[in-house]
Amino acid sequence: MLQKNKTRKSKSASQRQKRRCRCKKKAGIKGIWIDYCFLMWYNVQILGGNVMQANIKISTEIGSISKIVGEERAIELIAKAGFDAWDFSMFSMCKDNSHPLTGKDYLKFARRLRQIGVDNGIVCNQSHAPFPVREPQIRAHLKRAIECTAEAGGEICIIHPDNNKNSEENAEMYLELLPFAKECGVKIATENMWNWDKEKGHSSFAACATPKSFCEHIDIVGSEWLVACLDIGHAEMKGSDTTAVEMIHALGSRLQALHIHDNDKLHDSHQIPFSMDIDFKAIAIALKEIDYRGYFTLEADRFLTEYTEENVFNGIEQLAASARRFAEI
């Protein structure tokens, strides 16, 4: 019985091959013309008319992975999983006195990570400075974060605004940092934040939480070195009085970085895209409409919570697949 099935499969495969050959013969010049038309369409629509699709780059934060395998190994695994870049999480800078970022050789450590990325074919596209910036100790380390970004090869350093300050008050901090950032060749990105209303049981207004506030924070500074990082999950939380799509259209060319993750539209879940309730198709379309040219950077840092050193690569591969799926919509 098994031999008969093999024979049937062999005949079937042979028949399919013969049909393909007959089709090619029948197609002749017509087939060549179809191929030519397709290539012309591809060049115009993909390479010319839609540059974004041709230049899609995906990245992910390394903070959650580093907790399991360390920064060096995290970058290697990110590259192996198919990411094009890594997002330098620098939260340990103010939390762990034994971490290299807190010592005198912090720049050497940043350069070491950069080289590991280069050796594995990926780059650092952006970084995330410690927060909340209202704490004096963290505020004192922001220039160090910018330095590390530059040494790692990153182009943008995300620095949160103070949740409870308005655009004029937060501008003081950014104006203080921008000359140093410019000297380092690093742009600063502000981000849309949220507070929590315990009585209502959902998020409430914070700095950059609405399109108006976000644009004001950037425009009042008036520098090309201050840009926007849209946190998609934050924008989709109930109580934000906006959506990620509205934010994207309002920000336009100000938008140069992303934090991508999923949630239930109530909590700041930071989960892998397409696992919860956010409509990523609508967001991807909006990004195309403003001709977004930046990286698609994941910040699904709670997805790997239950993973171990033995199986974390499987989780990283899932993250890469979700990022690529979103970017290629």
Share of the chain above pLDDT 90, in %: 81
At 104, is the secondary structure helix, strand, or coil? coil
Q: What share of the chain is helix, strand, coil (3-state, %, to 5)?
A: 55, 15, 35
Reply yes or no on whether the pLDDT at 17 is more than 70: no
Q: Kindly report, residue by residue over 98-127, the tens digit of the pLDDT.
A: 999 999 999 999 999 999 999 999 999 999
Reply yes or no on whether the pLDDT at 18 is more than 50: no
Q: Kindly report, residue by residue over 126-135, the tens digit of the pLDDT.
A: 999 999 999 9
Reply yes or no on whether the pLDDT at 222 is more than 60: yes
Q: Residue 90 corresponds to which tokens in the numbers above? A: 């620098």
Most confident of 26-30, 34-38, 66-70: 66-70
Q: What value does the CA radius of gyration of the chain take, rounded to a whole number of Å?
A: 24
Closest CA to 117 of 74, 149, 147: 74
Closest CA to 320 of 255, 278, 273, 287: 273
User: What is the rounded distance in angstroms from the CA atom of residue 114 to the CA atom of residue 107?
Assistant: 11
* 39 alpha carbon, distance to own chain's centre: 30
User: What is the rounded distance in angstroms from the CA atom of residue 225 to the CA atom of residue 218?
Assistant: 10
